[in-house]
């Protein structure tokens, strides 16, 4: 019974932190570490304890803290990301940008990825990230980017694709029935780079049907991947993914790691996993023939990436490999609006949990029957499993 007490206290401390009582959670974790040692709180507790200190604005003795809590030992990126947050120069003009950049570029160096820089200008730091790498050739890769009423942030996403070291790209911008002005701005990208193709869809039906149209009617690549219209990818991302698939012909798909970042390049996470480097679901790259076997993305208004990735895993009975150890993608995040979102630390909206439960049950039944789980081009009329009403229909018509 005595051995249960530290585990209960650790779990309670992290629960308090996740529920908005960060000070209480931090006190409980720190007390356990002082009395029973750093290993008493487990990996999650160690990572959360450092996160809470930084959240409270306490960066004293940071390098010692990272070493004593075994952060660098357990994850090659977290120490550098935490250090970058502590050194972030975009809230204090007196701060030198170089130490912050050194921390981030030490992280990229772990995977021999080129250093980044921040261009001069008035845009948000996220939109001024710049990196260059030598170019390589290889098989054609189709990159699908659905968008609806895009703002200036799509420039960051498209420029990060134009800058990819893997040059043989077909960049399909799928305009999901934006206004005429927005559509005209998208068309202007064609003159920037001949690899960009803009497809204007007549109706707004959400990103997954836009992806399915891209695959079934427009994609020419041997490999297909996707990209959100406000995120950033390191120039080596596609090259590394292609190389992995070329070297492993039995592997049907892969992903890279990503990390969430604000416009001011503050890093962090929104789910229950305290390791900030996590698989980037929207970085999935698949062989073109995968769609012939298991079909397309589920036409819901969100969460379809999880289902498609898990369907691949169920079909292959294997995890989708992650290429590299550190983030090669930055997800744009607005930390101040997390209370309005379906994710936050330790919380996932019930509608998403219901969806995950439903599709995993369908995957399991398909396996037991010896069937390949298949979703057609447009499954809205005859779904293979039930989906919560909130996930069905365009997000623009159901924004909750």
| pLDDT reported for residue 300 | 95
In this prediction, residue 7 has a pLDDT band, given cuts at 50, 70 and 90, of: confident
| pLDDT reported for residue 95 | 82
388 part of a folded domain: no
pLDDT per residue as tens digits for the range 234-245: 999 999 999 999
pTM of the model: 0.93
* Average predicted confidence (pLDDT) for the chain: 92
| pLDDT reported for residue 319 | 96
Q: Which domain holds residue 253?
A: 125-343
| pLDDT reported for residue 9 | 82
Tell me the CATH number at 65.
1.25.40
In this prediction, residue 395 has a pLDDT band, given cuts at 50, 70 and 90, of: low
338 part of a folded domain: yes
108 part of a folded domain: no
| pLDDT reported for residue 336 | 58
Q: Are residues 160 and 56 in the same domain?
A: no
pLDDT per residue as tens digits for the range 107-161: 999 999 999 999 999 999 999 999 999 999 999 999 999 999 999 999 999 999 9
| pLDDT reported for residue 337 | 52
Q: Is the pLDDT of residue 263 over 90?
A: yes
> Of 74, 97, 113, which closes a domain?
74
Tell me the CATH number at 236.
3.90.550.10
- Domains contained in the chain, number: 2
Check residues 348 and 307 and name the one with the higher pLDDT.
Answer: 307
| pLDDT reported for residue 398 | 45
Q: Are residues 51 and 197 in the same domain?
A: no
Q: Which two tokens stand for residue 11?
A: 């779990």
pLDDT per residue as tens digits for the range 19-35: 778 888 888 899 999 98
Check residues 103 and 60 and name the one with the higher pLDDT.
Answer: 103
Q: What average pLDDT does range 301-315 have in this prediction?
A: 96
| pLDDT reported for residue 116 | 97
Q: Which of 393, 221, 375, 353 is nearest to 298 (CA)?
A: 375
pLDDT per residue as tens digits for the range 79-99: 999 999 999 999 877 689 999
Q: Are residues 70 and 147 in the same domain?
A: no
């Amino acid at each position: 019974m005595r051995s249960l007490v530290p585990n209960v206290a650790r779990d309670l401390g992290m629960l308090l932190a996740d529920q908005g009582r960060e000070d209480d959670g931090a006190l409980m974790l720190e007390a356990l570490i002082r009395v029973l040692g750093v290993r008493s709180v487990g990996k999650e507790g160690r990572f959360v304890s450092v996160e809470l200190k930084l959240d409270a604005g306490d960066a004293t003795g940071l390098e010692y803290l990272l070493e004593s809590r075994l952060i660098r030992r357990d994850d090659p990126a977290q120490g550098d990301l935490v250090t970058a947050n502590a050194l972030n120069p975009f809230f204090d003009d007196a701060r030198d940008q170089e130490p912050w950049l050194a921390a981030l570029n030490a992280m990229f160096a772990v995977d021999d990825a080129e250093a980044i820089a921040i261009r001069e200008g008035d845009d948000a730091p996220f939109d001024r990230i710049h990196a260059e790498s030598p170019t390589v050739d290889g098989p054609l890769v189709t990159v699908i980017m659905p968008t609806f009423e895009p703002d200036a942030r799509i420039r960051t996403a498209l420029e990060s694709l134009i800058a990819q070291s893997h040059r043989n790209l077909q960049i399909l911008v799928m305009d999901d029935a934006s206004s005429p002005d927005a559509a005209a701005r998208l068309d202007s990208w064609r003159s920037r780079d001949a690899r960009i193709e803009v497809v204007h869809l007549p109706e707004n039906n959400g990103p997954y049907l836009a992806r399915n149209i891209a695959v079934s009617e427009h994609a020419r690549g041997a490999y297909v991947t996707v990209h959100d219209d406000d995120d950033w990818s390191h120039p080596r991302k596609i090259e590394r993914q292609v190389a992995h698939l070329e070297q492993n012909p039995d592997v049907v798909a892969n992903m890279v790691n990503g990390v969430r970042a604000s416009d001011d390049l503050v890093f962090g996470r929104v789910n229950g996993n305290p390791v900030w480097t996590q698989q980037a679901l929207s970085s999935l790259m698949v062989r073109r023939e995968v769609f012939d076997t298991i079909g397309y993305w589920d036409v819901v208004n969100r969460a379809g990436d999880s289902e498609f990735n898990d369907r691949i895993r169920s079909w292959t009975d294997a995890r989708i490999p992650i290429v590299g150890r550190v983030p090669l993608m930055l997800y744009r995040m607005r930390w101040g609006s997390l209370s309005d979102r379906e994710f936050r630390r330790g919380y996932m909206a019930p509608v998403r949990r219901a969806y995950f439960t439903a599709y995993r049950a369908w995957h399991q039944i398909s396996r037991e029957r010896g069937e390949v789980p298949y979703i057609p081009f447009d499954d809205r009329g005859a779904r293979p499993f039930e989906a919560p009403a909130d996930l069905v229909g365009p997000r623009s018509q159901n924004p909750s």
